[in-house]
Amino acid sequence: MSSLDDFAKTKLAGLEARHLRRELSVTQREDGLWVTRGGKLLLSFSCNDYLGLTHHPKVKAAAIAAVTRHGAGAGASRLVTGNHPLHGELETRLARLKGTEAACIFGSGYLANAGIVPVLVGKDDLVLVDVLSHACIWAGAQLSHARVEMFRHNDMAHLGELLETHRAEHARTLIVTEGVFSMDGDLAPLEELRLLADRHDAWLITDDAHGLGVLNEGRGSGAKVKADIQMGTLSKALGSYGGYVCASQAVIDLIKTRARTLIYSTALPPASIAAAIAALDVIEADPALAARAVLKAQAFTRAVNLPLAQSPIVPIHLGDPVTALDASHRLEDEGFLVIAIRPPTVPDGTARLRLAFTAAHADADIVRLAKIIREKILP
């Protein structure tokens, strides 16, 4: 057997040769929009801070006050001594916003998805996952030991076929998808998903990481059609950190009793919870705020003749990783931070620029970015 070091070096060299090696760049976020990277000030179109709340004075003040009152860390997992009063307050607020009986906060959105799927299904069961779903949905599905099948992206005919073929062989069936797809920005057909789930006696989970705070007056993608479980994150439009799950009281009680990523992981720091509560206050106090990020994305898609944006996320498909990296570097030369997204985050052959618009982007900057992308990036 080769040494661990040799193994790592060989593996890295292989990834490097395919332009798939990833490196961390120090990025100092100056506010909700501007970042300093490599000594250069850049206007970011790559942060998921859709409402600019990471740097909102009320959100920051709430986090500081929580540190002062409750300390820097939670001290233990929620089932031991980490369940601070702020947890319940945020859960009540999230359940109210999502129109469910109850909610449960997790350490992150990744931990939420990795934790809840194994609570609901096991080895005799079936999980059907949209092929473009986030890595943590796949992680949860794998950890459940259920049979996992993927359906083509937003392809309800394919999902229907899989249900017709396999549903009867399994005790329980779970359909999991994203409300807003993180790398494509399109929306799931929730009404059809709900109908299929009901027709085939299946449960539906939607991941609303990119919908909360920005769609349907901030209530997210599930405002009109209810999934059995709506999960998401506090780390994007809410500008904080942590994950959440909204569902009926009984489902939440079961999750709190059984989800290993909740039971065996330290609770969120009080500052993150307080910041998320303050972010919800800001969103609820300004009814026009939530819609603004999507409107900015739509101004951009109109300017570059792409299909009208449905969310704050706009992909520009470029195909291979080198072209995507090159486009990202060219935009950096023009003063913009637009990250290239490569496999395995996205399927082979679909490397892209992923633009994330925020309520705070100035119209003039969007016009300038669109012009450069039209002239220098688009084929």
Cβ contact 255:247 at 8 Å: yes
Q: Which of 173, 206, 233, 240 binds ligand PMP (CB under 6 A)?
A: 233
Cβ contact 252:262 at 8 Å: no
Judged by beta carbon, residue 203 or residue 244, the one nearer ligand PMP is: 244
- Binding segment (CB under 6 A) for ligand PMP, from list 20-28, 108-116, 184-192, 359-367: 108-116
Q: Give the number of residues in contact with ligand PMP, rule: CB under 6 A.
A: 12
Residue 344: is the preceding peptide bond cis (ω within 30°)?
yes
- 155 in catalytic set: no
CA dihedral 353, 357, 362, 363 (to 10 degrees): 80
Q: Alpha-carbon distance 140 to 109, whole Å?
A: 11
Q: 57-70 vs 270-285: helix axis angle to the nearest 10?
A: 150
- 210 in catalytic set: yes
237-256 residues near ligand PMP, rule: CB under 6 A: 243
Three-state DSSP at 351 gives: strand
Per-residue x/- mask for ligand PMP, residues 296 to 335, rule CB under 6 A?
Answer: ----------------------------------------
Judged by beta carbon, residue 154 or residue 323, the one nearer ligand PMP is: 154
Sort 250 into a burial class: Cβ within 10 Å, 0-12 / 13-18 / 19+. exposed
Query: Does 136 participate in binding ligand PMP (rule CB under 6 A)?
Result: yes
Taking alpha carbons only, the member of 83, 81, 100 closest to residue 92 is 100
Cβ contact 338:355 at 8 Å: yes
- Binding segment (CB under 6 A) for ligand PMP, from list 37-45, 102-110, 150-158, 159-167: 102-110
Catalytic residue among 84, 236, 296, 361: 236
- Binding segment (CB under 6 A) for ligand PMP, from list 65-73, 90-98, 107-115, 247-255: 107-115
Query: Does 110 participate in binding ligand PMP (rule CB under 6 A)?
Result: yes
Cβ contact 267:107 at 8 Å: yes
189-218 residues near ligand PMP, rule: CB under 6 A: 207, 209
Provide the annotated active-site residues. 48, 134, 178, 182, 207, 210, 236
- Give me the residues that bind ligand PMP (CB under 6 A), please: 108-110, 134, 136, 178, 182, 207, 209, 233, 235, 243
